[in-house]
Amino acid sequence: MILIAFGTRPEIIKLFPVVSELKKRGIAHRTLFTGQQTDLYEDVKALVPPPDFSFAEAFAGAQKHNSLGGSFVKICEAAETLYARKRFGIVVVQGDTTTAWALAQMAFYNGVRIAHVEAGLRTFDLMNPFPEELNRTLISQIADYNFAPTRQAFDTLAKSGARNIHLVGNTIVDAVDHFRKTLGLTSETTPLVPVTLHRRENHAVMGELFREIEAIARDNGDLEFVLPIHPNPEVQKHRHLLRAPNIRVIDPVGYPDMLRMMSRAAFLITDSGGIQEEATCFNKKVIIAREKTERPEVVEIGLGRLAGRNLEREVAWARIPPGNPDASPYGDGHAAERIVDVLAGRLA
């Protein structure tokens, strides 16, 4: 039996293609929602069938205090109980969250095999992104299956001595392709500039970043900035800084609406990892509000610029329409099929 574990919005977005593929092939599996991010869960829960297991209640207290250790301990305890109660052959974890690391470590303790989706991403700076760089590095040490999204991730894993590495592409391209087809999305350019800012490493400078957005909006009156604002209080407390008439601050939106906005964007401003990848699917330029990225490919193909806090400096570049699109460096939309091929082979 395969267990697919997720706890946050990006994990659900990047794992729903795997869940769909398992279902399509009639391969027995169960799903687990750890409740790491209950507020954003509502926006994406429709992407997967209702989870078979949920730790959301056990998690509620830890989340209120936003404590990394508290969250980690609660997920670990609940995961151990679950692994003892049900016999899983493989647990599939995604990315670099507390959920992914806690589920992987408890699987290791309890003799459950670990499959890591989106393995091998690194900035090689343990503090950036924090604590994700630590989480993903540790998972690679114990994973039985490492599913690398890109050649660079594959090479990083190979050098580190990780086991059983498969270059499969990133399931985010599968996710985008799914909605591109079902919603009939095509890439067009309108004055819309979607902005998302929320990362923990940016909390200390979030006020500065919001002031940059305000200044950019005032200097670019022909553009319309839309900011689906993250519920984290460290982000919310700065929303009063956004006053320009061409800035719209909205609640986080469901994934199909987010993709619809991206497909119509003039360009994007973000500190999110997933949005950097999605930008390449829609051939959109993206100003990256980070000092370092574990996704160098978007920069290498000329669609991304690492701006740190100096977002305004890159606006002139971002306003020049990109050239003809290359294929996304993050995959061809068949990553989930390859992942399930490997897992099915193991089960057989």
Would you call 11 a catalytic residue per the annotation? Answer: no
The C-alpha atoms of residue 283 and residue 177 are separated, in whole angstroms, by 13
Q: Should residue 3 be labelled a site residue for ligand UDP when binding is judged by CB under 6 A?
A: no
- Binding of residue 274 to ligand UDP (CB under 6 A): yes
Inter-CA distances, 3 with 22, 232, 345, Å: 11, 29, 16
Active site residue 198: yes
- Residues 167-196 interacting with ligand UDP (rule: CB under 6 A): 196
Annotated catalytic, 178?
no
Q: Is 154 in the site for ligand UDP (CB under 6 A)?
A: no
Stretch that binds ligand UDP, among 207-215, 271-279, 287-295, 326-334 (CB under 6 A): 271-279
Confirm or reject binding of residue 17 to ligand UDP (CB under 6 A).
Answer: no
Q: Please report, as residue ranges, which positions from 210 to 239 form the binding site for ligand UDP (by CB under 6 A).
A: 228
Residue 155 is a catalytic residue: no
Q: Which residue among the candidates 11, 21, 132, 278 is catalytic per the annotation? A: 132
- What type of residue sits at position 222? D
| Beta carbons within 10 angstroms of residue 317's beta carbon | 13
Candidate ranges 217-225, 268-276, 285-293, 312-320; the one touching ligand UDP (CB under 6 A): 268-276
Residues found in the chain: 348
Rule CB under 6 A: say whether 83 interacts with ligand UDP.
no
Phi, psi of 261 (to 5 degrees): -65, -45
Distance CA 338, CA 171 (A): 10
Distance CA 310, CA 249 (A): 21
Rounded to 10 degrees, what is the CA torsion of 8, 30, 89, 138? 0
To the query of whether residue 200 is one of the catalytic residues in this protein, the response is yes
Interface residues toward ligand UDP, by CB under 6 A? 9-10, 13, 196, 228, 252-253, 255, 258, 272-275, 278
Catalytic residues: 96, 118, 132, 198, 200, 230
